[in-house]
Copies of this chain bind each other. A is one copy, B any other.
Amino acid sequence: MEERLGFIGLGVMGQAMARHLADEYPLAVWNRTPERMAPLIEEGCRGAASASQVVQASDIVFLMLSNDGAVSAVAEGPEGLLEALRPGQVVVDHSTISPAETRRLADLVSSCGAEWMDAPVTGGDIGAREATLTIMAGGTSNTYQRVLPYLQKMGRRILHVGPVGQGQTLKLTANLVSCLTLMAASEGVRMGLELGLAVEDLATVMNYGSAQSYELKKVLDRWNAQDFNPGFSVENRYKDLKLALDLARQRGFDATLAEAAEPLYRQHLEQGFGAVDEASYIQRWTKGE
């Protein structure tokens, strides 16, 4: 039996992911801003008028939304998922949201006889476009086996990491590490520059030694180019940091370093850097803080 698929949330990531599914299966799509649906409808997807309509037309509905509020609005709002969900259906949420909200929504969906699976992704725009995402799924084994063929169309490394909520837990943990690694790199690079060292000497020593990290290389490359405009924004990273810290606090985990980092990051945001790349953190000192 061929399953009918639906996709809600067609931002840059969602659009690229939906396209990989649409390449192989009939797909119903919906987006709050309808213009975002147009390219996929042109390519043969069926445009729906609401989240409920996507549920009516599908067995499995994939979500890719920006935060807890957006996911809750699509699930619980008027013409939302819950108004239409039937027993046996599955909602696969690729958004990055809190494990607590995930479990709450999973309970609501479960009372309709349907099932929730959290399946946040890493790999960014490029990973979404090239179908090389890492996808970490939380849910039952049966549901994981059922959705795995579809996840494999969108990603390269697909993991079942535990029950509902554990996908989000892993995603937030990984985000915490990259955020703190970015700040470690930024603090060091800025210190080196302030103490009179050349950025290329910092790069030669640190990119090849034990200071090496993905974030360090990004900071050095962007500082070299003096380009902080495109990329992963300070605002988005701060959202991720807060989600990870909330999770740590709720679960009684003492994230000392993250607690120290949070106000620094927040100050950077408040100084008006919200929309630029997070590598701009290195500029905090130069802007006369």
**Which positions in A face B, CB cutoff 8 Å?**
122-123, 134, 136, 157, 159, 161-162, 166, 169-171, 173-178, 180-181, 183-185, 187-192, 194-198, 201-202, 204-206, 208-216, 247-248, 251, 253-258, 260-261, 264, 285
A-side interface mostly: helix
CB-defined contacts of A251 to chain B, threshold 8 Å: 194-195
Chain B residues near A201: list those with CB within 8 A: 136, 159, 161, 170
Q: Kindly state the separation between the CA atoms of A169 and B201 in the bound complex, as whole angstroms.
A: 11
> Which residues of B are found within 8 Å of A187, using beta-carbon distances?
176-177, 180, 255-258
> Which residue of the partner chain B has the closest CB to A157?
B204
**Given contacts A187-B176, A197-B162, A197-B166, is CB(A181)–CB(B211) below 8 Å?**
yes
B residues in contact with A256, CB < 8 Å: 187, 260, 264
Query: A216 to nearest B CB, angstroms?
Result: 7
Of the A-B pairs whose beta carbons lie under 8 Å apart in the complex, a sample of 15, sorted by A's number, is A134-B208, A171-B205, A173-B195, A173-B202, A174-B188, A174-B205, A174-B210, A175-B211, A177-B185, A177-B211, A181-B181, A187-B256, A187-B257, A187-B258, A213-B214
Which of B157, B169, B170, B185 lies in contact with A208, CB distance below 8 A?
B157
